[in-house]
Amino acid sequence: MEERANGVNSGGESTGADDLVWIDACLTDDLPAGEMRALESDPPVAVYNVEGEFFSTADTCTHMKSSLNEGYLDGDQVECALHMATFCVRSGKATSLPATLPLRTFDTRVAGNQLQVSVPRAWVSEG
């Protein structure tokens, strides 16, 4: 089984390694380059394919609480559809106004052909 990890955990509250769990996001073939999708977690998480590299951030814009998945992905920049704030999906950094706060980012990995994201256990429903 091939496994590649990518990304960092930053921003938000600090969690210990035991509090994190890998969740299946989608098959890598189901997320073509230049595409993104939101995962069913609480709070929502988004995954991105940037030229064959996978990244994950919080799906909620830090400016006005809009879903980034409803916006646009251009290279490694995601643009919020509500007020056009942009963020780097690699680092979570806000790269244009009106956003000033970064997005939380999450570790991602590819296991076989499954894209997985490491999120706090409390964010995943048990059902």
- pTM, entire model: 0.84
Query: How far, rounded to the nearest angstrom, does the alpha carbon of residue 22 sit from its chain's CA centroid?
Result: 13
Q: Write out pLDDT tens, residues 98-125.
A: 999 999 999 999 999 999 999 998 887 6
Domain ranges within the chain, ordered by starting residue: 3-12+31-121
Q: State the CATH class of domain 3-12+31-121.
A: mainly beta
Q: Write out pLDDT tens, residues 10-57.
A: 444 444 555 999 999 999 999 999 999 999 888 999 999 999 999 999
**Helix or strand run (H / E) with residue 88:** strand 86-88
